[in-house]
């Protein structure tokens, strides 16, 4: 197995686990803890609790002050999932499905960023 195949398999596992354990807005404790730990393992500086459950990972390279921001939603919608995959959410006491869209890919370039 190549490094790329191993990374793909790992990331697929992450997605399936997060999908099987959805959390609603401002309740994403498990999800935000997972994201923070994953970013730390990748060597980023991490700030948690932003706006409640938000996570910010900072990767610095060199001494410049230019930056790029990447934003992604991590909350679930309150709907019944109709999927048939093994990793679907099946808690009979709750209806939820991770947002059925790709994470936002808003790239914001800022000059003289202070954070």
Of residues 53 and 108, the one with the higher pLDDT is 53
Assigned domain for 115 exists: no
Q: Where are the alpha helices (DSSP H) in 50-93?
A: none
Range of the domain at 23: 3-110
Count of the separate structural domains present in the chain = 1
Rg (CA), the chain: 16
Share of the chain above pLDDT 70, in %: 77
- CATH number, domain of 98, equals 3.40.630.10
Give the pLDDT of residue 96.
60
Assigned domain for 30 exists: yes
SS3 8: helix
- Residues 53-56: contacts with CB under 8 Å, at least 24 apart: 53/26, 53/27, 53/28, 53/29
Sign of dihedral through CA atoms 34, 69, 98, 79?
positive
Assigned domain for 44 exists: yes
Instruction: Extract the tokens encoding 88.
Output: 């679907």
Assigned domain for 106 exists: yes
- The rounded mean pLDDT for the chain is 80
The yes-or-no verdict on residue 30 having pLDDT over 70 is yes
What are the pLDDT digits (tens) for 44-98?
A: 999 999 999 999 999 988 999 888 888 999 998 877 777 788 877 766 555 565 4
Give the pLDDT of residue 5.
97
Assigned domain for 73 exists: yes
The yes-or-no verdict on residue 103 having pLDDT over 80 is no
């Amino acid at each position: 197995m190549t490094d790329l195949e191993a990374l793909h398999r790992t990331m697929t596992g992450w997605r399936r686990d997060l999908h099987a354990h959805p959390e609603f807005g401002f309740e994403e404790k498990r999800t935000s803890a997972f994201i923070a730990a994953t970013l730390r393992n990748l060597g980023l500086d991490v700030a948690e609790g932003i706006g409640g459950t938000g996570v910010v990972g900072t990767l610095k390279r060199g001494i410049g002050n230019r930056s790029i921001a990447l934003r992604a939603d991590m909350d679930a919608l309150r709907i019944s999932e109709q999927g048939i995959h093994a990793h679907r959410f099946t808690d009979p006491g709750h209806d939820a499905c991770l947002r059925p869209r790709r994470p936002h890919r808003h790239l914001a370039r800022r000059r003289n960023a202070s954070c």
